[in-house]
Structure 1
Amino acid sequence: MVAFQGRERQLATIGTLLPEVGAATGDPHPGQCLLIRGRRRIGKSSLVEAFVDRAGVPAVFFTAAGASAEIELEAFTEAVRSSTLPDRAVFDDATPGNWSAALRQLAGVLPDDRPSIVVIDEVPYLVDRVDAFEGILQRAWDRELSRKPVLLVLIGSDLSMMEALGSYGRPFHQRGKEMVLGPLNPAEVGDMLGLAPAEAFDAALVTGGLPLLCADWRPGTDLWQFLSTELANPVSPLLVSAERSLAAEFPSSALGRTVLYAIGSGERTFTNIAQAAGGISHSTLTRATQVLIDKRIVAGELPISTGTSKDRRYRVTDPYLRFWLTFVGPYLAEIERLRGDITLQRIRTGWTSWRGRAVEPLLRESLARLLPDGVLPSAPAVGSYWTRSNSIEIDIVGADRGPVAKQLLFVGSIKWLENSAFDNHDLLALQRHRLTITDDPIPLVALSRSGVSTSGLDAAYGPTDLLQAWQTRAA
């Protein structure tokens, strides 16, 4: 199954829970619960569907749709009726009148002598639409469901709500194990698409590691062939996935989208974002950015150094969404007129500049995963440094903690150009910048797409080295 290239580890992790259910049939509470959270369109539902198919045990899979509590209950009842549970016909004879009765009735039709699976997808919709749903679910689990050999899988795309669901003080606290499903990492993207390391990082930036987008990229095809094909198709996943995700994230909030567009267009400071969003007030922007941060769509970061700073910078966390907000979303009308060729040329013109900034967080994370390596130490915090005026920007700062460090471990520069190596000029600039944040001769490191043509660095890494960090982690 193409969409599950690189997902075998997650499938295996979920698969370890089912034997626990089967082995615990003599236990008064043999049930197991798993809470899965991840960004929209990351492949959570498809992953669990693949697991259910492979498991081969009785199962019901229900997906909430954000409708009223009554409509959701009808849909849940229908899902049980059409499931593979052996006693599902009970729901034909008796239709539950509320969610408490529905979950109690579900527990009654689950097998006693063999494992089964119950999947509830998009749980945050139920929490939002059904009064006291968390409490209803907790009581049903404690009193009935957990007494059956069942694996209950709860899935949600609202990251903050799903994280809160199992947190201290909430009804479902400590009743389930948690899994966070992220995008395919650059190594998985490269393997899936048959790309060399440097091109794998490019593909990760454009697709964001979303399986749906990667599945549309024919193996061996280069970036520009892929974009040419996708921009010629007004309904391609590259064009519509972001719009659908945003519609789900902000069904009635135009302000959140406006602020997100401002950040996605390249604005990073609070003042510039406010201006780009139409001159909104400080308090309004503070609330809007906090919502985006809570949803994990935006990150608000401070420079790493031994001093304090209030110069927070904002960025879109999902590389694909960042690409879409810059190059695709503003020009959808153009693409719908079948002039994707104009859009493609615009991307070609702005690609080097955009990629230079967009790739930095991904490369910093790659470096953090790679270390220690015998040259550089492991760094609990790997970020960057800047001043309010931007007169000094240091691409990489490794420290014992962030944003206010006790000890700086190394500093570095990123040069991610096809035909330009990291040279003496870059080294001198990095040495000058090091002096602005420390007098200690801490190591200097360069991340370069096209190699290094100077001496004086303590460490240097290219695309192959950085991709290896992900391969090691995924192994």
Structure 2
Amino acid sequence: MFVGRKRELAYLEERFKTGKPELIILYGRRRVGKTELTKEFLRKKRGIYYLAEKLPENLQLKKLSEKVIEFFDEDIITEFSNWEMLFKYLASKHDRYILVIDEFPYLIEREPGIISSFQKGWDEYLSNSNVFLILTGSSVSVMENSVLGYKSPLYGRRTGQLLLKQFPFNEIGEFFEKKYGFDDLLKIWGTLGGVPFYLEQFDSDLDYYGNVMEKIYNQNEVLFAEAEFLLNDELREPRNYFAILRAISLGKRKLGEIINETGIDKSSIMKYISILNLLGIVEKEVPVGEDPLKSKKGLYRIADNFFRFYFRYVFYYKDLILTDQRERLLSILKDTENQFFALTYEDFARSAVMWISGSNYFEIGRWWDRNAEIDLVGMNREEKRILLGEVKWSERPVTTDIFAALREKAYLPRWDEFKEKEYAIFSRSGFTKALVDEAKSDRSLMLFHGDKRVV
């Protein structure tokens, strides 16, 4: 079942209809759905799909040649002896067709010079042909440096690029035929993120805990070892990355705390953290409105939901799974999940600011100092507007006291430049009647129960 990706497909369709030669770079983390997207795009079109492998150059060229010759079904040589011959042949075709080379980094991993062959092939042949060429890659670092980077031979040749991201929260329900309510969907999102392959592993006939037990706390299932597999495949010295991720998952968010927990020296740890940041696994969080390069309040967090869950509830407890003590581990999850998923709900609320009342808030995040903290702040400096919010993943309705405290924080001196103030409160368990009545009379206050606005 192919789900979502309407905007991405529309983009590819629009480029295809121009009839012009195209070189599209499509990349994103593993399992995010690049292959399924390209196959769906190819489904009703003339095209060649080739999955690169970690093979010597001559074997790569041989296998791709076989695909090309089979597709055009012509009585010619059985393979091309070099890349130039292949590109010259492709350029000779008059009808529009698609060529997808999936996992392009595998093609250039052993022979970096191949990328220069592609540059020459594009410049001399394909740029004047009817080809719609898509190069995909799961190694974000390789795609951004070796393919898209300024020093790459292909720099300036691409006609378009598409960074495929995880599904947002409001689209993951499609994977489960809308069988789950908001609470379960938020937990699933906080556990798996928006990675299609992971979402497809869960069984909509099981509840959230049943899926965790059967699909994650099960050494025979792919999700049990997935995070470590990805890190081992992507990184050198994975042990140090595991240590850093484990430290952050334990709440060691300041750089000094991470250094003390892992024993890795400062000069080395910044290199590891920067790579985790490039991979989209770890990010540095600063109070909204502050310069990330200058702020001294930076805290590190695991930004990828799947890695955050894995290093909190799987990595450290693998022995419980391997010794069939999964029920004990499930109890640990249930005892601590409210604190864990409270952060997921905050992430959801900050993303929801994008569509709140159609307002354009260009700086969105969390804010804190020594004396106060605000879960959600959105700022529009040009229009002098600010949104301040609280996010409560508790089992009790939110009272008027929460709004009173939030409104008090809105008049801190640092917000003096903003003349118009709005408020938003997100609650898992709803609101007291008194707060609902107050929101009805105060148009600056918005209330959201789960993911729906109630006032």
Deviations 1:139-192 (A, max 9, x none): 111112233311111111232442343355643225221112111222221132
How many Å separate the matches in 2 of 1:260 and 1:288?
10
Per the alignment, in what secondary structure is the counterpart of residue 383 of structure 1? strand
Q: 1:19 and 2:17 equivalent?
A: yes
How many Å separate the matches in 2 of 1:64 and 1:434?
56
Aligned twin of 1:113 = 94
TM-score for both structures, normalised by structure 2: 0.86
Q: 1:338 and 2:309 equivalent?
A: no
Report which stretch shifted further, 160-169 or 220-229.
160-169
Call closer, same or farther: CA 1:327–1:203 in 2, change over 3 Å.
same
Deviations 1:220-261 (A, max 9, x none): 543122212224532323323222221222144432332233
Deviations 1:383-407 (A, max 9, x none): 11122x5x42211111136xxx995
Q: Does the Cα contact within 8 Å between 2:65 and 2:86 map onto a contact in 1? A: no
- Structure 1: 5+ residue stretches without partners: 22-29, 467-475
How many Å separate the matches in 2 of 1:448 and 1:125?
46
1:285 is displaced (CA, Å) by 1.9
Aligned twin of 2:379 = 399
Q: 1:442 and 2:424 equivalent?
A: no
Amino acid of the residue matched to residue 290 of structure 1?
S
Q: 1:245 and 2:221 equivalent?
A: no
Aligned twin of 2:287 = 303
Deviations 1:91-142 (A, max 9, x none): 6355x3xxxx225424415661222222222223444432344433221111
How many Å separate the matches in 2 of 1:124 and 1:82?
19
Aligned twin of 1:320 = 306
Of 329, 353, 366, 1:384 maps to 366
Q: 1:138 and 2:138 equivalent?
A: no
Per the alignment, in what secondary structure is the counterpart of residue 420 of structure 1? coil
Per the alignment, in what secondary structure is the counterpart of residue 452 of structure 2? helix
Per the alignment, in what secondary structure is the counterpart of residue 218 of structure 1? coil
Call closer, same or farther: CA 1:306–1:130 in 2, change over 3 Å.
closer
1:355 is displaced (CA, Å) by 0.7
Aligned twin of 1:451 = 430
Aligned twin of 1:176 = 159
How many Å separate the matches in 2 of 1:74 and 1:285?
39
Report which stretch shifted further, 307-316 or 176-185.
307-316
1:353 is displaced (CA, Å) by 0.8
Matches within 5 A, 1:44-443: 44-52=34-42, 54-65=43-54, 71-82=56-67, 84-86=70-72, 90=76, 92-94=78-80, 96=81, 101-109=82-90, 112-164=93-145, 165-168=147-150, 170-172=152-154, 173-193=156-176, 194=178, 195-219=180-204, 221-231=206-216, 233-278=218-263, 280-305=264-289, 309-367=295-353, 369-373=354-358, 377-387=359-369, 389=370, 391-400=371-380, 409-417=386-394, 419-436=395-412, 437-439=414-416, 442-443=421-422
Call closer, same or farther: CA 1:426–1:180 in 2, change over 3 Å.
same
How many Å separate the matches in 2 of 1:324 and 1:187?
22
Q: Does the Cα contact within 8 Å between 1:371 and 1:379 map onto a contact in 2? A: no
How many Å separate the matches in 1 of 2:338 and 2:102?
40
Amino acid of the residue matched to residue 286 of structure 2?
L
Q: Does the Cα contact within 8 Å between 2:104 and 2:136 map onto a contact in 1? A: yes
Call closer, same or farther: CA 1:306–1:41 in 2, change over 3 Å.
closer
Call closer, same or farther: CA 1:378–1:16 in 2, change over 3 Å.
closer
**Matched positions, count:** 436
> Identity of paired residues, percent?
23
Amino acid of the residue matched to residue 196 of structure 2?
P
How many Å separate the matches in 2 of 1:398 and 1:256?
33
How many Å separate the matches in 1 of 2:104 and 2:322?
35
Q: Does the Cα contact within 8 Å between 2:28 and 2:163 map onto a contact in 1? A: yes
Call closer, same or farther: CA 1:330–1:177 in 2, change over 3 Å.
same
- Structure 2: 5+ residue stretches without partners: none
How many Å separate the matches in 1 of 2:200 and 2:238?
31
How many Å separate the matches in 2 of 1:210 and 1:159?
15
Q: Does the Cα contact within 8 Å between 1:232 and 1:338 map onto a contact in 2? A: no
How many Å separate the matches in 2 of 1:91 and 1:49?
28
Call closer, same or farther: CA 1:204–1:458 in 2, change over 3 Å.
same
Amino acid of the residue matched to residue 304 of structure 1?
V
Deviations 1:325-369 (A, max 9, x none): 1111222232233332222221111111111123322320122x2
TM-score for both structures, normalised by structure 1: 0.83
How many Å separate the matches in 2 of 1:82 and 1:223?
43
Aligned twin of 2:25 = 35
Q: Does the Cα contact within 8 Å between 1:234 and 1:338 map onto a contact in 2? A: no
How many Å separate the matches in 1 of 2:74 and 2:214?
46
Q: Does the Cα contact within 8 Å between 2:217 and 2:326 map onto a contact in 1? A: yes
Deviations 1:272-307 (A, max 9, x none): 1112222x2222222221222222221112102479
Call closer, same or farther: CA 1:93–1:188 in 2, change over 3 Å.
closer
